[in-house]
Amino acid sequence: MFEFLEYFNTRQRSIFYRDCITYPYEFPIDKCMQKAELQILIVEDDPTLGRALEEGLKRAGYTVKLVGTAQLAKSALKLSVYHGMVVDCLLPQKNGVDFVAENVAAYPKLVTVLTSGIYKDRAFSGDALSRTHAKAFLNKPFDLQSLIDIYDTAFADTLDEAQEPLPQLYAKEQYSARDKLLAIENTKLVHGFDLPFIYSLLLDSQISGFLNITYDDGRSSHVGFNRGRIDFVKHPDVESYFGVLLVEKGFTTPEEVEEILAQTSGGKRIGEMLIENSYLSPHAIEIVQHEQMVIRISKTIQDASVKISFVSDSRAEPTVFIDAFRFTQLCSDWICSKITPEWLKSFFTHWFDNPLILSAHQSHLDMVKDLPALRPFMRMPGSQVWARPIHEIVATNKKVENDIYRAIYFMLAQRILRFGPKLGYSEGSDTKLTRLSSIWQDIQKQNYFETLGVGRSAKPSEINRAYHDLAKTFHPDKLPQSAPAELRNVTQDIFTKITDAFQTLSVPAKHENYVRTLEVGLADEILKAESTFEEGQRLLQQRAFKDARKTFKRAMTMKGRRSDTIIYYIWALIKEKRHRANRRELAEMISSLLPKVAHEDRHGAKYYLVRGMYYELTGQVQKAYMHFKHAMSLDPFFEDAKREIMFIKQNYSRPSKSNFSDDFSTVVTKFFKKSAG
């Protein structure tokens, strides 16, 4: 804790303020900055006190650098932009007051605070304030909070008060478990796509308790955290998936499940009945419960606004849980299968000019670089050149813009990256015009909720905050006077659409009428998507695979589409190309598409068919065969799975006992049955 008590246990407030700052410049910092974007330089030769000041200001949310001499401070000022400076008056080699006085003309933008444990008379402090134009003079020992208050007050008109505490953590270099809990407690409304970051914060904190998630219709989910593991997930879902998972994992058969369901009585669960009847081992129950937990937590990632609250609670060590390693895989899958490109673009709008900086978990990058959310990005030339803003990365890789957004959001959620201060980054007019023109093309296709980046259940406060965040970025007045007319026009178009969205959604009567209009339109879109999907199914059954693939691709772009449409698209794609295209290239394409299937859609016969066809493409014939058998166990009348089994038997050597034996879970259960008998 860097000896806080030694220096800051007193409530003494020996502070001398200038009545006002009269030197001729306006406060220089951009409006609407985050605390983490404000940099403070500490010049203190006492290392213990210096570290204490550094830690305290960091905890308050500022970005801080500590140096011990005036010479090092001078070098630091040349290398970076600082907004505040805390200077000890008695420094080695050069007096602190002289140092500030010599540099005040060169750096008039600094909010300077002088400190001293030696020079305590009012005459000295008054002269020092006059010479340096410093904001305040603190006599040591002083209350740390008084220093923080000075900067909070000085920057009050600059700090963005609209942003919730939680998003500020994306830019913070260090934060404690307490900081995380406070951010969650003080952030009442979030988007469902923010939950991966929140889950990651709670897992990393090693704390125990329950995150309560409340949806607009009053339903709620509860996620339990137990010292770095998720050990409980309750989600309002009519499906338990238990029987399906038992069959899927090869622990039992559909017939055995039906038999037990017919006998179930006395409130006993299906798993208990299967164990009692020696159909199942207790170990199998834990495997299935884990997978149930995965499905349920995946269902909490929704395109909607939700209320959150956290309640601390201590519990015994769990036997079934999702650990940090498994969560990282799930986080990657959610970003690929759940989180929309439209939401990601909206999320990054506020951070577009902030450089990306390696953060606390940067050492994890090598371990996760092959996960689906990261793999395409990591293969881009120069992808790991950091300390540059997102707009630079996107500008050089425009064709894979969505892959960039997914990868960066994943690394932010995993705290591999964080946002740094803007530090004067700016785009050229041509680059900015290209970026804004792309945004304008997207925004014209969006409804007002999508334009503001909020869910349809968003509360007035959320709508207001979203509007102000976007207005800060897209207000035409933020353009330089020299901006070309074309850039001004497209910026005005975007700002007008944002303003129209806000003016409609912020008025209750207009909001209600707009939602009704959308619901009518959505009903039509759902009907169109369903009709297109059914057309694709018909073409697939007619073996018109190319036309089926195009039809499913069209259905995937429609609002109101079925979530499993991508499974049918992959199915048609493989059937169309596996005998005509380069199998390796096709396999790589399918490998990039499979993670986009939501977890709750990965437990049906169609998914196992598609997965089996992928394994056949990659030469993993045993896995392919087992997946087709699983598909048949889930749907005994699935003719396409039968055909794939025949295809394997005709095109590969006849399955031998060693190549196509039961999978491990089936062997375990069969052994258990024999032992029990």
* Last residue of one domain, picked from the residues 127, 154, 181: 154
Q: Give the pLDDT score at 324.
A: 93
CA dist., res. 626 & res. 429, Å (int): 57
The answer to whether the beta carbons of residues 514 and 504 sit under 8 Å apart is yes
- Domain shared by 195 and 64, yes or no: no
- Domain shared by 222 and 285, yes or no: yes
Q: Give the pLDDT score at 27.
A: 35
- Domain shared by 13 and 102, yes or no: yes
- Domain shared by 147 and 175, yes or no: no
CA dist., res. 452 & res. 462, Å (int): 10
Query: Is 104 among the domain residues?
Result: yes
pTM for this predicted structure: 0.69
Mean pLDDT per 10-residue section of the chain, whose length is 677 residues: 38 39 35 74 94 88 91 91 93 92 88 89 90 91 87 74 74 85 85 94 91 89 95 84 71 68 62 65 80 93 90 89 95 94 87 87 90 92 83 84 94 93 69 85 88 81 82 83 90 92 88 86 85 95 95 90 94 92 90 92 92 94 92 89 91 54 42 37
Q: Give the pLDDT score at 625.
A: 93
Q: What is the DSSP string of 247-276?
A: HHTTSS-HHHHHHHHHH--TT--HHHHHHH
- Domain shared by 214 and 351, yes or no: no
- Domain shared by 9 and 101, yes or no: yes
Q: Give the pLDDT score at 673.
A: 41
Tokens of 410: 């994943």
Q: Which residue has the tokens 């914060």?
A: 201
Tokens of 503: 């003016």
Q: Which residue has the tokens 């540099």?
A: 103
Tokens of 340: 């929309």
CA 498 to chain centre: 24
Q: Give the pLDDT score at 263.
A: 67
Count of domains forming the chain: 3
CA 589 to chain centre: 25
Identify the CA nearest to 601 among candidates 610, 592, 588, 614.
610
Query: Is 544 among the domain residues?
Result: no
- Domain shared by 41 and 149, yes or no: yes
Q: Give the pLDDT score at 14.
A: 41
Residue span of the structural domain in which 317 resides: 165-330
Identify the CA nearest to 150 among candidates 36, 73, 57.
57
Tell the burial category of 641 from Cβ atoms under 10 Å away from its Cβ (0-12, 13-18, 19+).
buried
CA distances, 553 to each of 72, 268, 443, 596 (Å): 59, 45, 22, 14
CA distances, 15 to each of 12, 75, 85, 113, 583 (Å): 9, 29, 16, 10, 74
The answer to whether the beta carbons of residues 68 and 45 sit under 8 Å apart is yes
Q: Rounded to a whole number, what is the distance in angstroms from the first to the last CA of the chain? A: 62
Tokens of 89: 């008056």
User: DSSP 3-state assignment of 20?
Assistant: coil
